[in-house]
Amino acid sequence: MIDNNITCSKWDGYWREGVESEAARKRRKFFSLNSLLKIAENIMKNGRYRLIRRCLRLYISSLRNERILDIGCGLGRTTLLFRNIGLKNTIGIDWSIEGLKVCDKNGLKINKDVFLMDSQKTSFKDEYFKLVFSEGILEHFEDFSPLVKEMARISSKYIYVLQPNHFSLCGRLRILVLSSLLKGKDEAFPELSYKMDDFIEAFKKVGFELILKKNTLFTNYTVLLFEKVN
């Protein structure tokens, strides 16, 4: 069983210590192992962000003025991504204050754009958001059903998730990259290996059916879009 208080504290430490300064990046040798690992991770990150944008194109017009939630917003990258493509009413929540401090430095103000909150027990009203989004969160839970139920409770229409695929060749490579970048810290918030069917079945149980499934180029990430069944 994962202790949420301990895990939250570890995430705080990761965000606090793991965010490189610009000066540190300039000092890092281009052909060092860490540099190459960073390059590989950035390529993967850009691929999944392109996929997120591409799969939302058909829905942007209907979502433009709607409330959207980014669960586990971390440093605010996907919250900003959603806003930059025209979804201005996107807000984020995370249980790490250190992550939210970075959001604040990037222009997402704490208690206005991003909020300190447990994603499994939010304070939002039922069906408050038109779309609830998460990027790579479910795999950190031994039992992700409480989070799935909460996402279903506060969404009136869509749930949109991006999940790592641990069973592809690039997915396995990504785990090696992640382990090297975190330098042992990943034991505090492990990525458990679930199949996409596990997530599909979990959301089906709470009344959401799969309407879109797409992979990144090398199948290291998959996006799943669910719609509420009336």
The pLDDT tens digits of the residues spanning 89-107 come to: 999 999 889 889 999 999 9
What pLDDT is recorded for position 43?
A: 56
What single DSSP character describes residue 140?
G
pLDDT of residue 168: 78
Q: How many CA atoms lie within 13 A of 178 on its CB side?
A: 18
Using alpha carbons, list the distances in angstroms from residue 62 to 56, 211, 215: 10, 16, 24
**What's the confidence (pLDDT) of residue 2?**
43
Q: How far is CA 33 from the centre of its chain?
A: 26
- Who has greater pLDDT, 7 or 163? 163
- The answer on pLDDT for 144 being more than 60 is yes
User: How far is it, in rounded angstroms, from Cα 186 to Cα 136?
Assistant: 14
Q: Which residue has the higher pLDDT, 22 or 222?
A: 222
The region of weakest confidence among 8-12, 118-122, 182-186 is: 182-186
Q: Quote the DSSP letter at residue 196.
A: H
Share of the chain above pLDDT 70, in %: 72
How many domains does the chain fold into?
1
Q: Is 147 helix (H, G, I), strand (E, B) or coil?
A: helix
pLDDT at 193 over 90: no
Residue type, 47: G
Instruction: Report the distance separating Cα 193 and Cα 23, nearest Å.
Output: 36
What is the domain-level CATH number for residue 151?
A: 3.40.50.150
Look at 4 and 161; give whichever has higher pLDDT.
Answer: 161
Question: What's the mean per-residue pLDDT of the chain?
Answer: 82
Closest CA to 171 of 127, 111, 215, 117: 215
Mean pLDDT over 111-116 rounds to 97
Confidence (pLDDT) at 3: 46
| Closest to 47 measured CA to CA, from 132, 141, 159, 135 | 135
**How many CB atoms sit inside 10 A of residue 127's CB?**
13
Neighbours of 230 (CB within 10 A): 4
pLDDT of residue 180: 60
Domain containing 44 equals 4-228
pLDDT band at 186 (very low <50, low <70, confident <90, very high): very low
